[in-house]
Structure 1
Amino acid sequence: MAKAKKGASGGPSHIRARIEYLRKAAIYLQPMSASDSEQVSKGGGQSTPVPLAKIPTETRENDANNVPRGTATTGHLSRIYVSHMRGVSLKTQLRLPIEVKRSFCKRCDTRLIPNVNCTQEMRNESRGGKKPWANVWVVRCAACGTEKRFPQAEKRSKKLSERKKEKEKDKERSTET
């Protein structure tokens, strides 16, 4: 007798756990890198640059040894994790949930936060916006300028030939009864 089939689990659990871990790590590290870049861009006026000649040599050598490696790359860790998450899902042929796919930029791998690092707008480029099924939700990444477009229509209407066939079938049914 054959074994009973197990339900579709959506792939091995360790791979799903890895993808979820990478997603959460990217989300956790994104605000850190955003705040770091904001502080650098603002300048704040809190610290003033000191010429290298005025700093004693002993302090310069100690500072060079105490600087943690990888400090400069902390801002890009979230992007790297998103890239790894996409790579794992592609190699294992697991589909990412729609909300996960839509929450990251497909070009630069930054997390898209509305009104912070992306802009969102509804567009309808049909003739004067008369066609409601042509509504498209556009999300534009502020980092790289990439636009993601998501159709907002429920479903497209059936073609005229299909509607005529259905109408004929309905007439035949009504004449039979």
Structure 2
Amino acid sequence: MGKSKAPGSVPNRPVYSRISYLYQAATYLASQPKSTTNNTVATQEKKTLHSSQSKHGLSRRFITDLRSTSLKSQIRLSPAMKHTICKFCDSLLIEGETSSSSIENKSKGGKKPWADVLVVKCHACGGVKRFPVQAPRQKRRPLREADSKKKTDQSLEADNLVEGS
């Protein structure tokens, strides 16, 4: 017989905490501004450029470790976390810095509001991720026809009441 689980306990807590730490560290390193200096010494400029590149490289390494940890332990990442990671190059997608986003609607002239799609493009590899934007969906055709029939019947009844008065 296995151990009884205490209420509120989380299985694989060390793995979850490792994944959380790696994500937080990658976010911190990726959000660090690229330092540019106006020094005239070329070696200092090369060092600052190298350090900013190494920060982003380290951030990508943390994301790679995060992904391998979750795969090995068979733990699913939350959708919010997955949306901020490029699945092609493992870089963190930060709007305006490492990625750009736009909304496109490829329906007939953009007439269908539920067909809006958020397109996020990674600056590092050019990979594109697409996410549906939540909009109220149109009812299915039989339900739409039934609703329109009810509305026409109600309007006819209202017209008959007005004429009969």
| Counterpart mapping for 1:68-87 below 5 A | 73-87=54-68
Pairwise CA RMSD of aligned residues?
3.5
**TM-score, normalization by structure 2:** 0.67
Shift of 1:86: 0.9
The one-character-per-residue Cα deviations of 1:149-172 (angstroms, maximum 9, x if unpaired) are: 0011347556547x49x99xxxxx
Aligned residue in 1 for 2:34: 35
1:148, 1:49 → 2: CA distance?
38
Instruction: Give 1:11 deviation, angstroms.
Output: 4.1
The 3-state SS of whatever aligns with 1:86 is helix
Identity over aligned pairs, percent: 37
Q: 2:98 aligns with which of 117, 131, 154?
A: 117
Task: Extract unaligned runs of 5+ from structure 2.
Answer: 44-50, 148-165
Equivalent residues in 2 for 1:1-177, closer than 5 Å: 11-32=11-32, 35=34, 39=36, 44-49=37-42, 73-154=54-135, 157=138, 159-160=140-141, 163=143
Contact 2:113 2:135 in 1 (8 A): no
| In 1, Cα distance between equivalents of 2:103 and 2:71 | 30
Deviations 1:65-110 (A, max 9, x none): xxxxxx7844411101101111111121211111111112111222
Q: How far apart, CA to CA, are the structure 1 residues paired with 2:136 and 2:5?
A: 35
**Residues in 2 aligned to 1:112 and 1:151: alpha-carbon distance in whole angstroms:** 17
| Partner AA of 2:34 in structure 1 | S
Structure with greater contact order relative to length (CA < 8 Å, sep ≥ 6)? 1
Aligned partners of 1:76 and 1:83: how far apart in 2? 11
Q: How many residues align?
A: 139
Structure 1 gaps of 5+ residues are 51-70, 168-177
Tell me the distance in 2 between the aligned counterparts of 1:106 and 1:30: 16
In 2, Cα distance between the equivalents of 1:160 and 1:12? 47
- Cα displacement string for residues 30-85 of structure 1 (whole angstroms, at most 9, x for unaligned residues): 234x515xx3xxxx5513348xxxxxxxxxxxxxxxxxxxx784441110110111
* Structure 2 CA distance for partners of 1:156 and 1:7, relative to 1, 3 Å: farther
Secondary structure of the structure 2 residue equivalent to 1:139: strand
Provide the TM-score with structure 1 as the length reference.
Answer: 0.63
